[in-house]
Amino acid sequence: MGANAQTSVPTFTAGEVLTAANMNISARTGIPVFADSTARDAAFGGTGEKTLAEGQFAYLESTNATQYYDGSTWQPVASSGTKIGQVVSTNLATTFSTTSTSYTDITGLSVTITPTLASSKVLVLVNLSVSADTNVALNVRQMRDSTAINVGTAAGSRTQSSGFLQNPGGVFAYPIAWNFLDSPNTTSATVYKVQIVVNSSTGYVNRTQQDEDAATRPRLASNITVMEVLV
Amino acid sequence: MTDYAIVLTRRYAGNQWTLNGDDYTGLTWLSDTPKPTKTKLDSLWSEVQQEIADEKTSKAAQRQAILDKLGLTADEAAALFG
């Protein structure tokens, strides 16, 4: 039995003298509210503070999450198995074009998520509509902050990429999609974004290479969604 | 409305830039060369449009010349090549 485990749920009667022990039972059984995990961790075990032990609950304002301590780590409430936590999504319905021959951000195609637990995974879902001038090699990649993820292993001069297009010619827009289960191992705000690069000429997002004002030419949308997977 | 991406691709080849959206305000110039002004790009748009139209006309003429050489109509070529 943990140090904070109760052996009874007392009822006090009128006129009864409340002892410190009585107060400790009654005053410490509510769910304490903390600004974030740092404040939570600093609140236990000090002089005059409660000892952190199995069964302790906490509510974090930073992530609106209720957690319990299992004796070694904080766990999300009601996670007897894997479940989806926060979901953050951005839809880009405007165009983006570039001639950059080094990876550059696709403006507006990024999301920020703050994992509740360091053990959480983040499921990243991306859908892109891209086009390029004839024979241009267009690559896109998934970024977590400044780190490329979901890209192939380095192999010589080949471009490490999450998606690729080489337009054989004509008026085309191509879908590129991926999903990737990331393990960011952090409770800090984390940015997931998509970058693009071309080897020459121009690459396009959400439009075709030839973009005449005609019903035969589309305007498209791309999006990125991230889901915290509590495990 | 000027298609800035097309004008830049055809008249400023070799330069690097990004264009967020369709408007000139979304243009970020990545090269060391001077960033072209909106006025300049707008003034180039009509000749670029004409250039694209001329290319389409030229391609169509080339296509027709090949069909004539083969003795096929456009419909017959479509039926043949899908």
Task: List, for residues B44-66, the tens digit of each pLDDT value.
Answer: 999 999 999 999 999 999 999 99
Alpha-carbon distance B79 to nearest alpha carbon in chain A (angstroms) = 20
- Under the banding of pLDDT at 50, 70 and 90, the label for residue A26 is low
Q: Is the pLDDT of residue A29 over 80?
A: no
Query: Mutating which of B4, B7, B16 best tests the A interface, going by the most A Cβ atoms within 10 A?
Result: B16
In chain A, what percentage of residues exceed pLDDT 90?
A: 58
Which token pair is A154?
């380095």
Residue-range domains of chain A with CATH: 20-76 (no CATH), 85-229 (2.60.120.1340)
CB distance A57 to A188 below 8 Å: no
Which token pair is B34?
């001077």
Q: Cα–Cα distance between A221 and A206 in angstroms, integer?
A: 5
CB distance A140 to A176 below 8 Å: yes
Arithmetic mean of pLDDT, A162-180: 90
Q: Is A170 left (phi over 0), alpha (psi -120 to 50) or beta?
A: left
User: ∠ at Cα B9 (B8, B14), nearest 5°?
Assistant: 95
Q: Is the pLDDT of residue A28 over 80?
A: no
Q: Is B3 part of the contact surface with chain A (CB cutoff 8 Å)?
A: yes
Q: Which residue has the tokens 């696709």?
A: A106
Q: Is the pLDDT of residue A123 over 90?
A: yes
- Under the banding of pLDDT at 50, 70 and 90, the label for residue A8 is low
The closest CB to that of A202, out of B1, B5, B26, belongs to: B5
State the Cα torsion A201-A207-A208-A212 to the nearest 10°. -110
ipTM of the complex: 0.79
Interface of A with B in 117-136 (CB under 8 A): 133
Q: Return the pLDDT at B7.
A: 97
